[in-house]
Each structure stands twice: as C-alpha cells, then as structure tokens.
Amino acid sequence: MIKMERYSRQMLFSPIGEEGQREISNKRVLIVGCGALGSANAENLARAGIGELLLVDRDYVEWSNLQRQQLYTEADALNQIPKAVAAKERLHEINLEVEIEAYVLDADAAALKPLLRGIDLVIDATDNFDTRFMLNDLLQKNRIPWIFGSCVGSTGMSYTIFPNESPCLRCLLDAIPIHGATCDSAGIISPAVQMVVAHQTTEALKILVGDKEALRTSLLTFDLWNNQYHTMKVERAKKRTCPSCGENPSYPSLNDSYRTKSEVLCGRNTVQIRSRQEPDFHLLKERLKRIGTMKANDFLISVEYEIYRLVFFQDGRTLIHGTNSIEKAKSIYYQLAG
C-alpha cells in the first residue's frame, strides 16, 4: 500500500500521478557503483518510493569521498565501511519501505549476471570505461535499458540507452572522442555530480512510469564552470555492424580476451595490470603530473601516488607497487588512468 501523504507532492506532478507512483513502487533498479553518482541516484530513488534497489560497489568510504558523496559520514570514513553497506544503512533511515540489497563486489559480468533477474533499469555510476563497455554488452544481450553518466572537474554527460532502439555506448564512443580524465587527476566539484544525477534520476523516473515519449534521445554534456550546456543528436551513430548492438552482435566486452588483465607479481608487493589498449603517453603525462612526483622517458612513465608507485609502459602494462591486492590496484589504476 502506497503511503499517499509521503509521495503526495510527487503524485501531484501529472506525468507521474497516482498510477505512476504505483509503477515506481513495483520496480527494481540496479545501481552499479555507489560513489558520487550512485549514492545520489540511490537517495533520489529511495525518496521517490522505488520498490527495490540493488547496490553494487567494491570500495569503502574514504575521507576524500565526503566532499561530494552525500550519503556518507565521517564515521563511515573512519571505520572504512564498504560503500554499498553504508548506503543501505543510510537509505533505510530515509525510507524503510524500500527493499535494498547491498553487494560488496567487483562489477564484472559473472558477478552481475545473477543480479539482473527481474531488473527494470540499470544506472551506471562506475568510474571506468572497461566496466561501462562490459555493462553495455551485458545489458544489450539481456535487453535491459540503462543510463550512462560520468563527471569530472566541472563537466559531465549523460545518455539513456535502450537495447535494439538507441545507439549503444560503443556506437557513441566510436563517433565522439571522449578523454579519460578522472576525479583524482582533474578534481571535481559537487555541483557537477548533482547535475548529472538530476538528469539520470529524471530519465529513470520516465522509464519507471512508462513515459518513453518524454525520454531524451540526445547525448547531454555540460561544463558548469564555463557556462556551457549541449545536447547532441546521436541517432545516426547507430551502426548495423556494431559488435554490441548491430545485426550480428558478438558482445566483445564479455569475452575474456577483451578485459583488462591483472596479476600479482610474486614476492614484489606489486600488481601488474595489462590493458588491451596502448596509452597515449602525452595525455597521460599531462594528467599524472598533477598527481605527484613524475618521471618519464621514451619507454615508461612513473608517478608517486600516496604510498604507491605506478609505472605505465608503452605496451599497455602498468605496475602498481605497494600492494598485493588486485582490487586495490585496479581501484588506483582506474582513478589515475581513466
């Protein structure tokens, strides 16, 4: 039974109404990533009366998160509480009616596949394009709509993807160059997060109430600091030959050979990560010189970051010295390399 008073102002909004509120209360949403975008989207949907939220994140709350990740507190950072767990606890304080499942795990295809049963929508709140391409293929294959979002500095973007209808993420990024700057290399202001979240949550509500005609079909980008806001028509980006959404899809990002490889180097307190793509050394140097002490030659770039040392090679390999944890190494790698 919907508590009418609780959602009365939302139901007064005619595109939702009482019937739309019932639809929202019966829907299941998976949020991949519980950082800035994920935690804010989760709070919005919990307050809106979503039926069930599934939260996936591999990381724990750190002090640097508190500037923009609105669900978390100093106690969470002090005790290094996993983000998915901390988010679940806070959301239950906001709305006990919402069913919430928290999963502390690395978001790969094998881990996510069992969670997709009965899911109506997936919200991307990840921090790297390896995971996004995997999500793109997994959700294309399972015919589940999802909402892409990213932000860094004062910029952000969002795009809604419907399998078999809109261009997929691979189509989009083949057509539009997007650099891989990260919050750790370029910083971020919290209003940029809130702007992306506003668009992601609004698109989510349209999908949940079944108002597909109101969906934005364009790619949205903005730069709040420089007062820029653009929407780009992307219908023509859809390709018949796309390996993810074309006529004969092969879903390459679900293939082991496509994934970034990680391994612990025995006895060295070091993890090696091997990317399928060779880095752009010029862009990487520009990004990393803001991070810490950097050295570079024709063959590699080395940078000191907190207690770690990262060495990037021309062939796509990266050594993360100072840890034997693949999960920690991957987290650092994606934070700095994009």
Give pLDDT, residue 259.
66
Give pLDDT, residue 337.
80
d(CA 130, CA 111): 15
Q: Report, as ranges of residue numbers, the positions in the chain whose pLDDT lies below 50.
A: none
Pick the CATH number of 260-337 from 3.30.310, 3.60.110, 1.10.10, 1.10.760: 3.30.310
Give pLDDT, residue 105.
83
d(CA 144, CA 121): 6
Give pLDDT, residue 177.
57
CATH number 3.40.120.10 is the correct assignment for the domain at 8-254: no
Structure confidence by residue, pLDDT tens digits, 156-212:
999 999 998 999 999 988 766 565 677 767 789 999 999 999 999 999 999 999 999
Give pLDDT, residue 128.
78
Give pLDDT, residue 233.
93
Structure confidence by residue, pLDDT tens digits, 223-246:
999 999 999 999 888 999 999 999
- Topology agreement, domain 8-254 and domain 260-337: no
d(CA 60, CA 77): 8
Residues whose CB falls within 8 Å of the CB of residue 319, separated by 6 or more in sequence, listed in order: 265, 270, 271, 272, 310, 311, 313
* CB-CB contact of 147 with 203 (8 Å): yes
Domain spans of the chain, in order of start: 8-254, 260-337
